[in-house]
Structures are given as structure tokens and as C-alpha cells.
Amino acid sequence: MGIYHTTTLNPDLTSINFWIPSYEGAPARTVSLSNPHMAAADAYGNIYIADKASHSILKWTPDGLIHTLAGTHVSGFNGDGPAPANTLQISYPNGLYVFPDGTLYLLDPGNHRIRRVDTSGIMTTVVNDPEPRWAPSGRALWVSPNQQLIYYTHEFSPVPPSLISDGAVVKQWTPSRGIEVVCSRDVGFRNPANIAVSPIDGKLYVTDRAEEDTTRVADGLFRIDGPEQRTRLTGNVTQSKASSGQPALSSFIEQPRGIAFLPNGSYFLCAHKGGDVWFVDTAGILHRYIQGSGSGDTYLIVDGQHPPLTSKSVISQPRSVTLAPNGDLLVVLNDSGYLLRVRNAAPAAEAANLVPAPGASGGLRLGWDGMFGRGYRIERSSSLVNPSWSPVTAVWGQPAGQTTLLDGLPAGPEAEGYYRVLPSL
């Protein structure tokens, strides 16, 4: 989806908010996005979009329509909740994290907050960061499967007379310890973009676009190896420009901005100024997946085309990549605001060996073998004669050799019936 605009800026150089009331419930492909920064999906086929300049999180449902999930389309703050998410103001949301069941976390940098929207649409504030110099930016947000650990980043406001942000910080939050600094400004981050945790080593990976660094020295993908410790994983500006077949470590990728891991530790990486979407295999070798440009608002992909698309530039300025629970790749592009979905061509990740058992707290537990990094939908029917299956929840599959467990289902007559586990839509 996306509509080209000849300009996306107001006279004061702020981004235009294209949202109008008639967009609510309209076909998504007829809607103008407003400087979107990220998209992610749940296991039911819904896609969520952090639409920064319309101060909202939009929900693109499987019937092709668009709805406002969170925010009022007006920047501001009118409370922490709990309240319906579409009644609470948010400001310049540019990062989100979505669980298979539709639980959503969003970065609300204009209000120095991280919000949570539950599956019934109620929003609460989880993190209220008191840092007074947090500039209204962020983009980076990751939440652990048990929702007990959050990583995020923010920049510091410029120190006058400079107009350039005064560096950036990587932080974490836990319920027991609150906000803690992982990497201070002294580590050298300038303009962190998307972050992700590797399924292989469990470490945090941070892309740094370093937009305002004219030397390009700060551009790169980095692994966080401990407090105040980072390791560069893409080449620096003195090394050769990225090309297929080269090691990522010795290849300069200009303004890397998005990262998304596959279950085996390989990953997709997109570069805002470089313009390309790359696939980096488990040996660290680059493969150009979609060729793009670092300028303009280009989108030349025809429905039905599937990468690799490398004969000419067909996109521009990719700003995030995420993997949906069904394995689809979601790419958000440029200021005009295009959202590209690359369908996963592999067979659906079916569940196997479904086993019910008593739960740890007296309810019902379901266990099955699935694929790590894929989402699974659980449904229930009271009968197999003319069954009427209703959704129960959706969860992530566990690593190979580990049984995926769903605990806490109700006990007694409420739990009686038949259950099935299905792959994500």
C-alpha cells in the first residue's frame, strides 16, 4: 500500500499529516500514510503501522480495510490509561513490537513513553522515562517473549547552538529494576534505528543510521556484548561499498536502518541511504535481495513480483524490515509511505504432536512441536459435530528440540472441548 506525494513536508519542514476522517474503515490501498516508520503483524493476518506524522498506530485487517488502533491523529498527551487506545493521544510514534496474539507495544517518543495495547484495545503506559533531554525520536523497540524485558533507544536533544542531536543511548527496562542504561552516549551511537535480538546468541543488535554524521563514520550494525560494549558487524566508511558475495563485516552499508532475524540467525538488513534490502546468511555474507535508491520516493514493484529484484532500483529509502509470524517480510519505505509485503513462499509451519496435560496452576496445558520464530493460533470447539472453532490465543513457536507450551487455559467445564493448533495466517 502507499500513495506517492510530490511533497511530504509542511512549510516549517515538519511532516504532513495526511489523515482525514474518511480514511477510517476505508480500503487500505486508498489511504495516504503519513511518514510511516515501521510495520509488524500478528498471527491473524493483521498488519500494524506506526504512522508517525498522523500520531497513530493503524491496523490493516485481512479484509483490506484500515482502522485506527491507537492515538487520535493529534499529537499530545491526555493520560496514561488504562483506556481505549484510540482515545489516548500519542506523539510521533515510530517504533512498535507485536506479539502473535495482537498484543502491541509502541514507542511514544514525543511523550517519553512506551505504551502497551492489549488484545481488547486497552492501552496503558509501561515505561515513563524521565530523561528531560530525550529528543522526539527513537525507532528502536524490542520486547521479550514473557514481556519482562524491554530494550529501546533515544537520542539527546541538541546542545545550542548546534542543531545536531547530542548522541544517543540504549536502555533496558524490567519490572524489578526499572530503567537502566545498556550503552551510554559515550559508546558512540548517533541515530539508532531498528533493533532485534538474535535467536542464536540472545544478544541485542542495533542499527545506527547516524543521519547527521556527515563523515559516515558512525554508520553501521552493532552487536551489544555487555554494558558499554559493542562490536561492529558491517564495514566502516573506509571499506568497499556493499556488494553481493562480500562479507558484511568488510562492506560499507550507508545508513543501515532495519534488521529482522530469521530462526537460523541469518537476517534481513535495510539501508536508508544505501537504498537496498540485503539478506545476510549465517556465514555473514551479503546477498542483495531488493535493489533500491537512497533518494526520492520510488516504488516500482508490480503485485506478484517476488525477490530477488536486483536488475534495477525498484524502491527507495527503506526504513524498517520485520518478519511476520507467518514468515512474510514487511518493508516500510520513504516519506510518501509505502508498505511492501513479500509473501513467504515456504510451506506453512504446521504444528505436530499436540498433547494436552494438566497445567501448572490447575488449568489446561497444551504442548506441540512447531517452528521457532513462527506464530501459532489456538482454537477451540465444544464439539466435532458441525464444529464451531473460536480463537483462544496465539503464541510463538519454540526452538528446535523444545516443546511449545501454552499454559493457563481454564479448568473445568469452561475448558472442555476440542483444541487445534494452526499456523499463522
**CATH number, domain containing residue 240:** 2.120.10.30
Question: In this predicted structure, what is the pLDDT of residue 363?
Answer: 75
Look at residue 251 and tell me if it is in a domain. Answer: yes
Look at residue 46 and tell me if it is in a domain. Answer: yes
Question: What is the β-pairing status of strands 315-316 and 292-293?
Answer: parallel
- Rounded distance, CA 424 to CA 414, Å? 25
Look at residue 8 and tell me if it is in a domain. Answer: no
Question: In this predicted structure, what is the pLDDT of residue 336?
Answer: 85
Q: Are residues 320 and 416 in the same domain?
A: no
- Rounded distance, CA 401 to CA 350, Å? 15
- Rounded distance, CA 168 to CA 206, Å? 12
Question: In this predicted structure, what is the pLDDT of residue 309?
Answer: 97
**CATH number, domain containing residue 402:** 2.60.40
Per-residue pLDDT for 400 more than 80?
no
Q: Hey, which bits of 61-100 come out as E strands? A: 66-70, 83-84, 95-98
Q: Are residues 241 and 315 in the same domain?
A: yes
Question: In this predicted structure, what is the pLDDT of residue 415?
Answer: 66
- Name the pLDDT band for 136 (thresholds 50, 70, 90): confident
- Rounded distance, CA 207 to CA 233, Å? 10
Q: Are residues 262 and 114 in the same domain?
A: yes
Percent of the chain with pLDDT over 70: 98
Final residue of a domain: which of 342, 371, 403? 342
Q: Are residues 79 and 222 in the same domain?
A: yes
Look at residue 25 and tell me if it is in a domain. Answer: yes
Q: Are residues 361 and 317 in the same domain?
A: no
Angle at alpha carbon of residue 255, lines to 28 and 144, rounded to 5°? 65
CB-based contact 256:220 (threshold 8 Å): yes
Measured in whole angstroms, how far is the alpha carbon of residue 268 from the centre of its chain?
A: 13
User: Of 97 and 13, which is predicted with more confidence?
Assistant: 97
Q: Are residues 311 and 368 in the same domain?
A: no
Final residue of a domain: which of 342, 376, 406? 342
User: Cβ contacts of residue 413 below 8 Å, gap of 6+?
Assistant: none
> In the predicted model, what is the mean pLDDT of residues 77-93?
98
- Name the pLDDT band for 413 (thresholds 50, 70, 90): low
- Name the pLDDT band for 411 (thresholds 50, 70, 90): low
> In the predicted model, what is the mean pLDDT of residues 11-39?
94
Q: Where are the alpha helices (DSSP H) in 253-368?
A: none
Look at residue 375 and tell me if it is in a domain. Answer: yes
Look at residue 247 and tell me if it is in a domain. Answer: yes
Final residue of a domain: which of 299, 317, 342? 342
| pLDDT, the chain, mean | 94
Q: Where are the alpha helices (DSSP H) in 237-371?
A: none
Counting the structural domains of the chain, the total is: 2
Question: In this predicted structure, what is the pLDDT of residue 414?
Answer: 64
Q: Are residues 335 and 378 in the same domain?
A: no
Look at residue 130 and tell me if it is in a domain. Answer: yes
Question: In this predicted structure, what is the pLDDT of residue 360?
Answer: 73
pLDDT in tens, 29-70: 999 999 999 999 999 999 999 999 999 999 999 999 999 999
Q: Are residues 121 and 257 in the same domain?
A: yes
Cell of 2: 502507499
Domain assignment of residue 382, given as a range: 354-423
- Name the pLDDT band for 321 (thresholds 50, 70, 90): very high
Look at residue 347 and tell me if it is in a domain. Answer: no
Please name every residue paired with 169 in a beta bridge, in sequence order, or none if there are none.
154
Which H/E stretch holds residue 230?
A: strand 229-232
Q: Are residues 100 and 197 in the same domain?
A: yes
- What's the farthest any 2 CA atoms get from each other in the chain? 74
Q: Are residues 251 and 377 in the same domain?
A: no
- Name the pLDDT band for 152 (thresholds 50, 70, 90): very high
pLDDT in tens, 260-311: 999 999 999 999 999 999 999 999 999 999 999 999 899 999 999 999 999 9
Q: Is 46 helix (H, G, I), strand (E, B) or coil?
A: coil
CB-based contact 381:354 (threshold 8 Å): no
Q: Are residues 322 and 276 in the same domain?
A: yes
- Rounded distance, CA 91 to CA 87, Å? 13
Q: Are residues 331 and 362 in the same domain?
A: no
- Rounded distance, CA 232 to CA 222, Å? 5
